[in-house]
């Protein structure tokens, strides 16, 4: 078969990070090509380079499509060649109809006036092709996620697609919908269409893929031909097989006997789809001086678990008990959770962590403002002292405490958020993806803070999708998948293979 796409030596750098390092990818016409790798390995970056989201010139290397070198300046350019991406977060507009969504930006119109009859007739044909039995006039909002995914595919088909890229298409689908979607892919393949499938679910990949490219740390590490019979173990090894050198401070066990926090039978439902249990009957504990890790893939329910514990900041119909220091704790509001000794450092520091337009001085004391105030009046000197103290302690690189958070780099923003919670002086600190998007140096500093806090008797819970990080910094691990804790292990006995296997096994059992 001829090669339809060849990406040669793609290198893409962000300030301070090399996201892709000389990656090559070759896709043959009419095949299903799977792209696998851990979160943050560089899969999405590679696809953004391909689709022109990162325009020509912002990366080095060549994209050869249909035998010609292409220079895409935006999604419109790549779509004109028939390269269509379907993102993990669906890009549909809920209050428009199926037909309107399919032809959004590509309307069937003459002189700016939409030809509704042609729109709906063509939409009906496309829906037939993807096997979706719905009227084109139905609102997307009224469809389940599985059907919405099919609308996305119909939308791709409407654009004369030659190469369809699906980014984690089944991550939010149930088993039946996933199977239907994969069958559809096979059907398209039989008709000669090429697709790239990005997925974590190795069982799905081994079912449909012809070729697998494994990406790790921004490099393509292997290209596997499925005709030769590839074991899942082999793929996992390629995905995670990096060595852990000195990227973590030395681990000294500080865990004490007293349990700092115990959670029993915690269940959290989705705020809108209340039948979905995003956290399902989870029980766990963490000891004082212990660093506890929660591993899992994106969407496993870890952030939801943490936020629901922290003052019911996420979810609905929360059930279960939390015990702190031998007494049942009231965590019903954020204030009460803080007073009970809990702190939550969010994974999304810009949305949930910082007041971006405010200075370091004003951000740091925010969670415990009364501690820098005399009665109701903020003591600006004490506030400045506190901010300066944390700026030095966490080595926040900034001109002064008067620098606005928005002008700091990601790592330093994260340190400001961390400062805020250190100043609140919690007993139990939950860190959600504490090093996402941060360079290696800042990561080490944050790991050191984590170990120091544990040494001082705090209980730390680290949620992370980077397994090496969990293995490097924690004492004990839980593995979470699809809302449940599916495995517990001492970090000494844990390995990336064991964690991945636990996730995949539990996924297959559920299926």
Partner 1 sequence: MTQASTNPGSDGFTASQAKASWSFLRGHLREYGILFALIAIMVFFQIATDGILLKPINLTNLVLQNSYIVIMAIGMLLVIVSGHIDLSVGSVLGFVGALAAVMIVQWDLPYLLAAVLCLAAGALIGMAQGFWVAYFRIPSFIVTLAGMLVFKGLTLWLLAGQSVGPFPAQFQLIASGFIPDIFGAEGLNLFSLVIGLVVATAILAFAIRTRMSQAKTGAPTEPFAFFAAKHGLIFVALVYMSWLMAGFRGLPNVFIVMALLIAIYSFVTSRTTIGRRIYAIGGNEKAATLSGINSQRLVFLTFANMGMLAALAGLVFAARLNTATPKAGVSFELDVIAAVFIGGASMAGGVGTVVGAVIGAFIMGVMNNGMSILGIGIDWQQCIKGLVLLAAVIFDVMNKKKG
Which residues are at the interface with partner 1 (CB under 8 A)?
A: 310-311, 313, 333-335, 337-338, 344, 346, 351-358, 362, 366-367, 369-370, 373, 376-378, 380-381, 384-385, 400, 402, 420, 424
Long-range contacts from 264-267, C-beta under 8 angstroms, 24+ separation = 264/320, 264/321, 264/322, 264/323, 265/319, 265/320, 265/321, 266/305, 266/308, 266/309, 266/318, 266/319, 266/320, 266/321, 266/322, 267/317, 267/318, 267/319, 267/320
Q: Please state, in angstroms and rounded to a whole number, the distance separating the CA atoms of residues 51 and 43.
A: 13
Q: What's phi and psi for 139, nearest 5 deg? A: -70, 140
Q: Which two tokens stand for residue 56?
A: 């020509």
**Rounded least distance, CB 432 to partner 1, Å:** 11
Which CB sits closer to partner 1, 201 or 302?
A: 302
Which residue carries 């084109």 as its tokens?
136
**Rounded least distance, CB 367 to partner 1, Å:** 4
**Rounded least distance, CB 421 to partner 1, Å:** 9
Q: Please state, in angstroms and rounded to a whole number, the distance separating the CA atoms of residues 480 and 461.
A: 13
Closest listed residue to residue 305, CA positions, set 357, 251, 265, 245: 265
Contact yes or no for 338/380 (Cβ under 8 A): no
Which CB sits closer to partner 1, 372 or 487?
A: 372
Q: Which two tokens stand for residue 420?
A: 């805020």
Which CB sits closer to partner 1, 263 or 306?
A: 306
Which CB sits closer to partner 1, 271 or 441?
A: 271
DSSP assigned state of 311: T
**Rounded least distance, CB 351 to partner 1, Å:** 6
CB atoms within 10 A of CB 283: 13
Which CB sits closer to partner 1, 190 or 377?
A: 377
Rounded to the nearest angstrom, the gap between the alpha carbon of residue 476 and the centroid of all alpha carbons in its chain is 22
Contact yes or no for 317/311 (Cβ under 8 A): no
Which CB sits closer to partner 1, 240 or 401?
A: 401
Which CB sits closer to partner 1, 211 or 303?
A: 303
**Rounded least distance, CB 375 to partner 1, Å:** 9
Q: Cα separations (Å) of 151 from 76, 81, 83, 123, 368?
A: 20, 21, 17, 10, 48
**Rounded least distance, CB 465 to partner 1, Å:** 21
Closest listed residue to residue 268, CA positions, set 302, 298, 297: 302
Q: Please state, in angstroms and rounded to a whole number, the distance separating the CA atoms of residues 54 and 46.
A: 9
Which CB sits closer to partner 1, 285 or 336?
A: 336
Q: Please state, in angstroms and rounded to a whole number, the distance separating the CA atoms of residues 460 and 431.
A: 7
Coil/strand/helix, residue 57 = coil
Which CB sits closer to partner 1, 36 or 364?
A: 364
Which CB sits closer to partner 1, 84 or 461?
A: 461
**Rounded least distance, CB 416 to partner 1, Å:** 11
Closest listed residue to residue 410, CA positions, set 432, 440, 439, 441: 439
Cα Dmax for the chain: 76
Q: Please state, in angstroms and rounded to a whole number, the distance separating the CA atoms of residues 200 and 34.
A: 10
**Rounded least distance, CB 496 to partner 1, Å:** 31
Which CB sits closer to partner 1, 66 or 404?
A: 404
**Rounded least distance, CB 330 to partner 1, Å:** 14
């Amino acid at each position: 078969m001829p090669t339809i796409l060849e990406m040669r030596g793609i290198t893409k750098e962000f300030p301070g990070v090399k996201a892709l390092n000389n990656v090559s990818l070759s896709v043959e016409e009419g095949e299903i090509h799977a792209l696998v790798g851990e979160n943050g390995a560089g899969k999405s970056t590679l696809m953004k380079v391909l689709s022109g989201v990162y325009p020509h010139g912002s990366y080095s290397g060549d994209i050869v499509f249909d035998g010609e070198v292409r220079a895409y300046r935006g999604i419109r350019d790549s779509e004109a060649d028939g390269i269509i991406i379907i993102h993990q977060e669906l890009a549909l507009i809920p209050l428009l109809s199926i037909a309107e969504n399919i032809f959004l930006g590509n309307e069937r119109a003459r002189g700016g006036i939409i030809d509704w009859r042609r729109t709906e007739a063509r939409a009906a044909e496309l829906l037939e092709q993807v096997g979706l039995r719905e009227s084109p006039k139905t609102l997307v909002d009224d469809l389940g996620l599985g059907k919405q995914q099919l609308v996305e595919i119909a939308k791709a088909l409407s654009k004369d697609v030659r190469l369809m890229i699906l980014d984690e298409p089944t991550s939010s689908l149930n088993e039946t919908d996933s199977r239907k979607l994969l069958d559809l892919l096979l059907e398209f393949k039989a008709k000669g269409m090429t697709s790239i499938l990005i997925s974590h679910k190795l069982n799905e990949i081994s079912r449909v893929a012809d070729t697998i490219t494994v990406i790790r740390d921004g490099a393509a590490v292997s290209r596997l031909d499925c005709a030769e019979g590839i074991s899942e173990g082999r793929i996992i090894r390629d995905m995670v097989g990096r060595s852990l050198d000195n990227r973590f401070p030395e681990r000294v066990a500080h865990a004490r006997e007293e349990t700092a926090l115990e959670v029993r039978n915690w269940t959290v439902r989705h705020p809108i789809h209340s039948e979905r249990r995003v956290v399902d009957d989870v029980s766990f504990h963490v000891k004082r001086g212990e660093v506890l890790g929660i591993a899992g893939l994106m969407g496993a329910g870890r952030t939801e678990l943490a936020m629901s514990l922290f003052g019911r900041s996420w979810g609905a119909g929360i059930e279960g008990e939390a015990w702190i220091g031998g007494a049942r704790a009231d965590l019903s509001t954020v204030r009460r959770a803080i007073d009970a000794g809990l702190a939550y450092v969010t994974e999304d520091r810009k949305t949930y962590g910082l007041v971006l337009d405010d200075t370091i001085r004003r951000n740091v004391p925010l969670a415990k403002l009364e501690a820098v105030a005399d009665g109701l009046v903020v003591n600006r000197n004490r506030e400045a002292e506190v901010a300066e103290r944390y700026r030095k302690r966490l080595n926040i690189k900034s001109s002064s405490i008067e620098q606005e958070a928005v002008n700091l780099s990601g790592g330093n923003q994260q340190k400001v958020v961390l400062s805020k919670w250190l100043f609140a002086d919690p007993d139990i600190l939950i860190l959600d993806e504490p090093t996402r998007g941060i360079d290696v140096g800042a990561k080490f500093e944050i790991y050191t803070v984590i170990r120091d806090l544990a040494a001082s008797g705090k209980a730390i819970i680290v949620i992370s999708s980077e397994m090496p990080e969990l293995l490097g910094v924690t004492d004990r691990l839980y593995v979470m998948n699809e809302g449940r804790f599916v495995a517990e292990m001492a970090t000494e006995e844990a390995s990336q293979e064991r964690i991945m296997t636990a996730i995949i096994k539990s996924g297959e059992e559920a299926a």
